[in-house]
């Protein structure tokens, strides 16, 4: 088996897998280049600093203490069957498997599905604005295919929308919400964009970042469309 490249590890979290105590593995490599990425150190599929065998040994010591392991990144599915093989090993220890994904690898997602219990999938912008945000002109269609596939599995998931006001307007958010509701999405997370880095000549303002959260009409509209809406400010 080819070694999985692990770039980072969070040993304990209550927020990355809803309802479960979890560890998070950040895998190396991502096919996208989102303007607001807070993890650019994982962009390239370089060697990761974590020994996968030692990580597995450590996870064995967490059995009974943690309930789940979340595969994140980067894009966890970029390492293809190497990721899936590692998921299988982790699942064999008794952990639930979570996956954070940008949806760029629907075929890998399909192969991984038997081992994955919950997915958080990014829906980053409208189709028209997707490329300008992520730097890839097939990313929307790939995400769309992944989303429809995962819905077809009947397994638990949430769609995550990060509201970067440079790429999402309130109308765009309604468009995304309507599309998700039409597809049958039940759980949504609306995430506030955080200006972690120098935004150059076009900085966002606090008001622009908070506009999606302060509009009670918009909130009511979104809340009415799904079984669960998480507002992450």
Write out the residues near ligand SF4 by the rule CB under 6 A.
30, 32-34, 37, 39, 42, 73-75, 102
CA 138/CA 167 separation, integer angstroms: 17
CB of residue 202 to ligand SF4, shortest distance in Å: 18
Name the residue nearer to ligand SF4 (CB basis): 16 or 75. 75
Name the residue nearer to ligand SF4 (CB basis): 67 or 172. 172
CA angle 125, 84, 21 (to 5 degrees): 75
Residue labelled with tokens 């994140």: 72
Question: How far apart, in Å, are the Cα atoms of 70 and each of 117, 179, 185?
Answer: 10, 27, 21
CB of residue 53 to ligand SF4, shortest distance in Å: 25
Question: Residue 193 phi/psi, 5° resolution?
Answer: -70, 130
CB of residue 140 to ligand SF4, shortest distance in Å: 13
CB of residue 40 to ligand SF4, shortest distance in Å: 7
The helix (H) or strand (E) run that includes residue 65 is: none
CA 123/CA 180 separation, integer angstroms: 9
Residue 124 near residue 161 (C-beta atoms within 8 A): yes
The helix (H) or strand (E) run that includes residue 147 is: helix 139-153
Name the residue nearer to ligand SF4 (CB basis): 32 or 180. 32
Name the residue nearer to ligand SF4 (CB basis): 34 or 70. 34
CB of residue 223 to ligand SF4, shortest distance in Å: 26
Name the residue nearer to ligand SF4 (CB basis): 131 or 219. 131
CB of residue 161 to ligand SF4, shortest distance in Å: 13
Residue 144 near residue 126 (C-beta atoms within 8 A): no
Residue 120 near residue 100 (C-beta atoms within 8 A): yes
Name the residue nearer to ligand SF4 (CB basis): 66 or 99. 99
Name the residue nearer to ligand SF4 (CB basis): 50 or 101. 101
CB of residue 20 to ligand SF4, shortest distance in Å: 22
CA 106/CA 145 separation, integer angstroms: 6
CA 116/CA 99 separation, integer angstroms: 7
């Amino acid at each position: 088996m080819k070694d999985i490249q692990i770039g980072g590890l969070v040993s304990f979290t209550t927020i990355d897998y809803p309802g479960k105590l979890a560890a998070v593995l950040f895998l190396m490599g991502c096919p996208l280049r989102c303007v607001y990425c807070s993890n650019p150190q994982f962009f390239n599929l370089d060697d990761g600093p974590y020994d996968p065998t030692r990580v597995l040994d450590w996870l064995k010591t967490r059995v009974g203490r943690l309930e789940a392991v979340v595969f994140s990144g980067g894009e966890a599915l970029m390492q293809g069957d190497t990721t899936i093989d590692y998921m299988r090993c982790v699942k064999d220890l008794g952990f639930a498997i979570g996956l954070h994904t940008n949806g760029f690898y629907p075929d890998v997602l399909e192969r991984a599905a038997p081992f994955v219990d919950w997915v958080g999938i990014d829906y980053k912008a409208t189709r028209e604005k997707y490329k300008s945000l992520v730097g890839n002109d097939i990313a929307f269609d790939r995400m769309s295919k992944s989303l429809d596939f995962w819905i077809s599995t009947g397994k638990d998931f949430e769609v995550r929308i990060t509201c970067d006001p440079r790429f999402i307007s309130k109308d765009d958010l309604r468009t995304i919400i309507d599309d998700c509701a039409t597809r049958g999405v039940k759980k949504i997370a609306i995430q506030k964009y955080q200006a972690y880095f120098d935004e150059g000549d076009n900085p966002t303002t606090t008001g622009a970042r908070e506009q999606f959260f302060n509009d009670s009409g918009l909130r009511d509209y979104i809340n009415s469309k799904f079984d669960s809406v998480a507002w992450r400010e």
